[in-house]
């Protein structure tokens, strides 16, 4: 079975309305190109000073049996204007969405969760993953990021039901931890979503290498949406949103600036790669028995 999928590349700032308009435009273009599922980057709604994400954070409904986010006459559910707008976008475009880096209200005051949200084509939330690995670094270019200061980590691996089969959910810095993706494969994933806001400093050396490695190790497609360009202050992202296949071949990649890339997921390719080079079955260390 073949399914066309897309990844978005954008430059989010502190202007939420402008960011959401960009998402709507690029998702619409990717859907018009035939994408049935579109991955949107981390921090898509807001990438600015830290206090801003606390102000716009929203509650998320439980994915279990979730109804569309805006059905006339139905009882109110947790959510907010950003989530509702993305639900409407999914319905309007006819494409499932992976909202990478959705700012979800945390359990503690002054904290949010960095959530990866799977919304189906009817606008219903079907899966929510909370980013497990938080990005606390001092980079050589002077960039200092301490995600844990305002973000609560998640703890559960999450696999969503996508049009082509099982899709493993992750966010950005998770890509440096291959055991997470092996866990997603153990749960049935044949494709991995990696919405990101990868820094320029690390991205130019590590982005392509890490994504291709995860695809090869997990023998899965990788769908990596990306932030690009200058956001605020010293914060700059590398870009190069891409899609690669289970052999590690890059099928589509964004160039400079905002845009999208699309490619086909072919389940027979996954079967062929896993059958001809059965490294997942040969696992001993960390194998699920």
The residues assigned a catalytic role are 42, 131, 172
| CB 260, CB 254: distance < 8 Å | yes
Centre a 10 Å sphere on the Cβ of residue 193 and count the other Cβ atoms it contains: 29
Cβ 10 vs Cβ 26: under 8 Å: yes
Closest to 126 measured CA to CA, from 68, 44, 196, 53: 68
Among candidates 41, 76, 75, 73, which has minimal Cα distance to 58?
A: 76
Closest CA to 233 of 37, 52, 9: 52
Alpha carbons within 13 A on the beta-carbon side of 22? 22
Asked if 189 contacts 162 with a C-beta cutoff of 8 angstroms, the reply is no
For the CA atoms of 166, 285, 170, 133, the dihedral, rounded to the nearest 10 degrees, stands at 160
Given a contact cutoff of 8 angstroms between Cβ atoms, the answer to whether 38 and 260 are in contact is yes
C-beta neighbour count of 78 within 10 angstroms: 13
């Amino acid at each position: 079975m073949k399914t066309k999928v897309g990844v978005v590349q954008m430059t989010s700032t502190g202007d939420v309305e402008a960011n959401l308009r960009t998402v709507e435009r690029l998702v619409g273009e990717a859907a018009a190109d035939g994408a049935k599922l579109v991955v949107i980057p981390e921090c898509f709604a807001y990438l600015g000073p830290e206090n801003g994400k606390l102000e716009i954070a929203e509650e998320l409904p439980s994915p279990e049996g979730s109804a569309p986010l805006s059905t006339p006459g139905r009882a109110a559910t947790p959510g907010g204007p950003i989530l509702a707008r993305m639900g409407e976008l999914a319905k309007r475009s006819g494409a499932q969405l992976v909202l990478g880096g959705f700012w979800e209200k945390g359990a503690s005051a002054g904290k949010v969760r960095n959530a990866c949200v799977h919304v189906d084509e009817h606008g219903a939330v079907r899966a929510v993953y909370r980013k497990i690995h938080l990005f606390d670094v001092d980079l050589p270019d002077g960039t200092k990021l301490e995600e844990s200061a305002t973000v609560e980590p998640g703890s559960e691996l999450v696999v969503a039901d996508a049009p082509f089969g099982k899709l493993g959910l992750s966010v950005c810095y998770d890509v440096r931890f291959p055991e997470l993706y092996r866990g997603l494969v153990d749960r049935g994933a044949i494709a991995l979503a990696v919405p990101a806001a990868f820094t320029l400093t690390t991205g130019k050396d590590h982005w392509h290498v890490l994504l291709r490695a995860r695809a090869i190790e997990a023998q899965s497609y990788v769908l990596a949406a990306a932030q690009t360009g200058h956001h605020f202050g010293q914060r700059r992202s590398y870009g190069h949103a891409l899609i690669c296949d289970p052999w590690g071949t890059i099928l589509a990649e964004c160039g400079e600036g905002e845009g999208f890339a699309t490619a086909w997921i072919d389940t027979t390719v996954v079967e062929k790669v896993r059958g001809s080079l059965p490294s997942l079955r040969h696992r001993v260390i960390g194998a699920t028995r």
